[in-house]
Amino acid sequence: MTARIAIIMPCYNCAAHLATSIGSVLAQTYTDWELIVVDDGSTDTSAAQVATLDDPRIQLIRQANAGVSAARNRALQAANSELVAFLDADDIWAPTFLEAMLKALDAQPAAALAYCGWQNIGLPGGRSAPFVPPDYETPHKLETLLGGCRWPIHATLTRHAAITAAGGFNPRYSHAEDFALWLQIATQTPIVRVADVLAYYHFHGGAQASANHARAALQLWQAQHDYIAAHPALAQRLGRDTLARLTHGAVLERAYVSYWTRDLVTARSLFRHVMRHGYGNARDWKYMLPALLPLRWHQTLLCLSFNDKNKLPLKK
């Protein structure tokens, strides 16, 4: 029999965390699910771990390494469920995640997606506070969504038909693939918030998916740009200034964050992107223009300007 919820888990060399993530699935209070694990060309024991699990609800698919979007799309093709949840192989859910999310969608049949609060466990610097995203069903929904979906992929439960209609995950994105999908779905149909923290990231101290901040920021911008290009009426509805603030302005904001946290390489890349699009005021350009210089010249200029190397963004 087909389970009502398909849980899709892409996995690439996650042997150290796989048991914990699958354990959070097995601990769910709602039990009518199937777990489809797509081993995306792992070279560790990930696939072997899944193969030993004695639960008919768990299915293992193996493929050559093709990236997270291709792995999720492969699982979507294998799933016959009404609803889909996504859980990466190093993240977990609270035991009531599926139950609470399903209850929210059942209460609002017109909604295509439910999302909930989340928490990043183990992030240094006191940045592990739980977070509940805002309610997006307001008169400003389109603008707010285009500015960014403030929930991770494993904090959602989505109708399978809506994902299919949106075309699944775009393989061209390696960082903003879920944002691009949510834009397609959530701007066209209602979504519902579950105001509880039920999804958890685990920061492992290594190079996780969002570690390349420049690429992540630019791919989010590209997803915004692609969506606007595919929906030309959006430009007329929101206006040029608003669109520029939501797109180029977001990249500039990320550049400043990198600049003041001493990641000059990332800041320079993002500053140059913003300048190519002619965005920013005179004060912004004062900070951006030195990004056109060679890196060492830029560093030297900052040393002369600040006269305090401890304050300079000199990360290489």
User: For the segment 92-146, what is each residue's pLDDT rounded down to a tens digit?
Assistant: 999 999 999 999 999 999 999 999 999 988 776 666 789 999 999 999 999 999 9
The confidence score (pLDDT) of residue 126 equals 61
Residue 6 to residue 25: CA distance in whole angstroms: 11
Residue 262 confidence (pLDDT): 87
Model confidence at 286, pLDDT cuts 50, 70, 90, reads very high
Q: What is the mean pLDDT of residues 46-66?
A: 97
> Percent of the chain scored above 70 by pLDDT?
92
205-223 pLDDT, tens digit each: 544 443 488 999 999 999 9
pLDDT at 41: 97
Position of tokens 């960014």?
A: 148
